[in-house]
């Protein structure tokens, strides 16, 4: 299992690639049968997007060496891990399946794995935490970043809108989404207030023992 420093470093690098200047995403044809593995294709908009694509690819393959998910190659392993573990990461249009905001989702998944690695590093040897134990979409034990991504997707709010409501910079929201930074208590309360109002139900964002430290 990779250590927490490995995932923290990757999360920061993926976050650096997350920009509004272009669109970097992945796509694959619609699955023919349930459970069939995907063969993903990387795509970018604008010439600068292909420069960032060339930077994303080796990072994703590096991450793919450390995940238990299956795939035809290291890139597919990583993108399949995103689909399995990051809620609402995959969208489907006209029979084609997409992972938009792939840099953001990659950073978020690294943050989730970093949390699991931190738990493992501080757990007794008889009770290790492994990557395969990360829940695909459950609530308990999930990182703040994973919860924020799911809540944001449910109410269809942009990072810019959330930043305006919280009175913080957009970069701060992206860092919260990616797991590169843990929101302060007042920001967590702000997220709960915003999402509760948008979803018309009480929202409580759970914190792991590591995140509460």
Domain ranges of the chain: 4-111
Contacts of 138 (CB under 8 A, 6+ apart): none
Residues linked to residue 27 through DSSP beta bridges, in sequence order: 41, 98
Consecutive 10-residue runs of the chain (213 residues): their mean pLDDT?
81 82 61 57 70 86 88 87 84 80 88 82 51 45 81 86 89 81 90 93 81 54
Closest CA relative to residue 177, chosen from 3, 11, 7: 11
Contacts of 76 (CB under 8 A, 6+ apart): 37, 38, 39, 40, 64
3-state secondary structure of 54: helix
Output the pLDDT for position 53.
78
Output the pLDDT for position 30.
52
Q: Which two tokens stand for residue 193?
A: 């207030």
Output the pLDDT for position 138.
45
Through-space distance between the first and last CA atoms of the chain, rounded to whole angstroms:
23
Closest CA relative to residue 15, chosen from 142, 106, 89: 106
Output the pLDDT for position 2.
60
Output the pLDDT for position 159.
82
Cβ neighbour number for residue 206 with a 10 Å cutoff: 14
Output the pLDDT for position 134.
46
């Amino acid at each position: 299992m990779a250590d927490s420093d490995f995932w923290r470093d990757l999360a920061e690098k993926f976050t650096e690639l997350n920009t509004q200047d272009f669109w970097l995403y992945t796509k694959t044809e619609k699955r023919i049968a349930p459970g069939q593995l995907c063969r993903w294709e990387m795509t970018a908009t604008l010439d600068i997007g292909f420069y960032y694509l060339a930077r994303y690819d080796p990072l994703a393959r590096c991450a793919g060496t450390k995940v238990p998910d299956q795939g035809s190659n290291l890139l597919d392993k990583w993108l399949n891990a995103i689909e399995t573990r990051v809620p609402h990461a995959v969208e489907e249009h006209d029979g084609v399946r997409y992972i938009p905001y792939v840099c953001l989702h990659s950073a978020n998944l690294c943050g989730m794995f970093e949390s699991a690695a931190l738990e493992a590093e501080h757990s007794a040897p008889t009770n290790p935490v492994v990557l395969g134990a990360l829940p695909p979409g459950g609530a308990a034990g999930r990182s703040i970043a994973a919860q924020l991504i799911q809540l944001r997707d449910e109410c269809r709010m942009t990072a810019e809108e959330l930043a305006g409501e919280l009175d913080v910079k957009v970069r701060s929201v992206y860092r919260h989404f990616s797991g590169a930074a843990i929101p302060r208590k007042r920001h967590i309360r702000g997220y709960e207030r915003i999402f509760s109002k948008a979803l018309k139900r009480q929202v409580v964002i759970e914190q792991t023992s590591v995140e509460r430290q």
